A and B are shown apart, each in its own frame.
Chain A
């Protein structure tokens, strides 16, 4: 009888932990996607924090030194989105480098608070213009 009671208590504790873990997981999964993946189902990602990977579109970088806001466009050659990053351009941030930004989409503009430059694995688009999205994703991951 006693043993049974302890088993019940033990299972209760584990179930409680399980519920905590499950709830925490569903709240804090951060998806890593490319601009085209966002474009294909924007409603799925609109309310969530996501990590967006892509290439910095040349000629779009603008840094506001007073407000400390960095603006640029991120692209995977299929879709392009405007980015507003709260912060300064990190080391090695330049045109055509791979970046991963973390934040949310608001009205089609990505508001980021974390910017990582993937300088060592710059993805080079092939000459004929076909781009392998999976390969790009691997390079940025």
Chain B
């Protein structure tokens, strides 16, 4: 009798379990005994684990695509009638599958690291740490939340994935980006552990993981932005960020990772902040585990329909284990990681970086506290409370403003030196730009401290970027006879990291302004339109032309047909819809959005549409500049990719080292 897919998948996971266990044990023994044969064997375990995990993923996809309901995960989350793309992404539509995906991506990074990491004294322990993390992420799908259980008798059909997830293609992208970010930051964490174990807490570990760190940070950034866009397009309230626990646990590792990306530069340049950097990467990695525990165990309630599973306590235990091991290791090596050097002057590049770091840590703490506070209150007084979005806005806005202010100054300051003449000139320009912009904004009718402060700081940052660029170009233009365009291209080409960071910072400025405008000037109303009638709404005429109801095998939907006119000309037709997916009781909205550079018109069906009802009720949201949030996300991604591409100098280095290798061979 041929083996079933469930048995094959379970077997693949058991193989992965054995291989990653060998990666951990063999790697550790090999590293202690400095046995190159053992180390090579443990390194091979990375490839073997990756192959086994790939097999498990492939088997699950085959099971999903062939509707094999004898596999428990398929029976619980898939449906015969779902479209092909939904079946493919159903792999990460529920707990068991998404943890399997996490494990697979991790094994991919581990294998990649095992093949490309240069043979340094850090490599054995870094790979061993990766193996340890991998072991946990194989244990979970293999034993704790198994997706490959065999269902008897085999059901004919399943309920299909969570309707919120099958409602938008973004769901195919966002979770994968999130896991790529989480997994990417495991690499610097592993190298940090290796640095502590081998007593080499210099900047070697971060130099070898610079790319990985930036890559992980870039994926996390993209994941948070796509998550916001998904909320906007699917949840129907016209917003993109609600400070829901699920969002909070995704932003926390991003905050600490952002601090880390900046503070590693201080250590590279000034040999300072060794312990701080180690602590930050430990915190970043642990926060991904703590976050998974919080949202997967049901201890905090969330509007996102995340299934509770059995994995919560295990993630908590792993979080505690990771914290305990890494912090005791840090304490054990305290003599080596203590900073000998001191800040020469607080008004310096490293001073600004340190300030930003403190702000990011305070932000993390505020978000963590807001997320956990309901638990604390219930434990202490028994009262049930929720911490609303106003808390997060009040607590974090001043800190965000501080981040924006320092983001403008930091890159202009020289390392270690006290301020000089140029600094005051620069500051004068930036302050002038900020004050002038705020004055213009106030004159055209902008009110409120934060909106005005945000545009002022945006101008401050743009002035700073302009000064940085002109400062770098002036010397070039004087020295060589080039056109400005040529000079910019040359500069950008030769300073990829620096120029990439400028692009990212520009994206941050865009995003800050867009977030300010879309939240401070948001209009959110319920409007009722009689069928055939129309209503004026912020310069647009909305006409309820029709309503519709139809049913396919996969879903039943009802919606309104709204003609949108402006100045007598037809702009578009929006069809906000409500869907009920087959096999599910919950209805999910599909809002329809008129994307515009100045402001979006966002319509969502607000009340049931019945066949005998002669009107439609819509939730209409007008949020200025909201589109620029997504554009800013793309700009930040482009900047990150640009910083990641090898610069001309680095490429030459690798080429020479390759030639040397060849010469040695």
Contact = CB atoms under 8 A, between A and B. Distances in A.
A71 to B, nearest CB: 15
A28 B342 contact: no
A21 B364 CA distance: 12
B391 A27 contact: yes
Nearest to B377: A29
A137 B528 contact: no
B615 A21 contact: no
A9 B607 CA distance: 54
A6 B350 CA distance: 13
Contact of B342 (A3, A17, A30, A137): A3
Report the contact-size class of chain A (Cβ under 8 Å from the partner).
Answer: 35 or more
A104 to B, nearest CB: 13
Interface string A114-140: 000001100000000000000001000
A17 B387 contact: no
A65 interface: yes
A28 B387 contact: yes
Interface stretch (A54-62, A76-84, A86-94): A86-94
Nearest to A66: B528
A13 B351 CA distance: 14
A92 B608 CA distance: 10
Given A3-B342, A25-B373, A119 B585 contact: yes
Interface string A10-32: 10011001001101110111111
B323 interface: no
A28 B366 contact: no
A120 B388 CA distance: 24
Q: Which of A21, A30, A90, A120 has the most CB of B within 10 A?
A: A21
A49 B346 CA distance: 44
Contact of A68 (B392, B528, B585): B528
Given A17-B366, A24-B394, A68-B617, A6 B343 contact: yes
B394 A10 contact: no
Nearest to A26: B391
Nearest to A119: B585
Nearest to B617: A88
A2 interface: yes
A61 to B, nearest CB: 14
B390 A24 contact: yes
B99 interface: no
B386 A32 contact: yes
Given A6-B343, A27-B390, A28-B394, A21 B366 contact: yes
A2 to B, nearest CB: 6
A30 B386 contact: yes
A25 to B, nearest CB: 6
Given A17-B362, A65-B615, A89-B607, A24 B395 contact: yes
B606 A88 contact: yes
B387 A2 contact: no
B358 interface: yes
B399 interface: yes
Nearest to B399: A17
Contacts of B394: 20, 23-24, 27-28
Contact of B388 (A13, A23, A28): A28
A4 to B, nearest CB: 11
10 closest pairs, A vs B, by CB? A88-B607, A24-B394, A17-B362, A28-B391, A32-B384, A28-B390, A24-B395, A24-B391, A30-B386, A21-B395
Interface of A: 2-3, 6, 9-10, 13-14, 17, 20-21, 23-25, 27-33, 49, 51, 65-66, 68, 86-92, 119-120, 137, 141
Interface of B: 301, 342-343, 346, 355, 358-359, 362, 365-366, 369-370, 373, 377, 383-395, 398-399, 526, 528, 578, 585, 587, 606-608, 615, 617
Given A29-B373, A33-B384, A88-B606, 9 more contacts: A20-B395, A24-B390, A24-B392, A27-B391, A28-B387, A30-B387, A32-B385, A68-B617, A92-B585
19 contacts: A2-B343, A6-B343, A9-B346, A10-B358, A14-B362, A20-B395, A23-B394, A24-B392, A25-B373, A27-B390, A28-B390, A28-B394, A29-B385, A29-B387, A30-B386, A32-B385, A86-B526, A87-B606, A89-B608
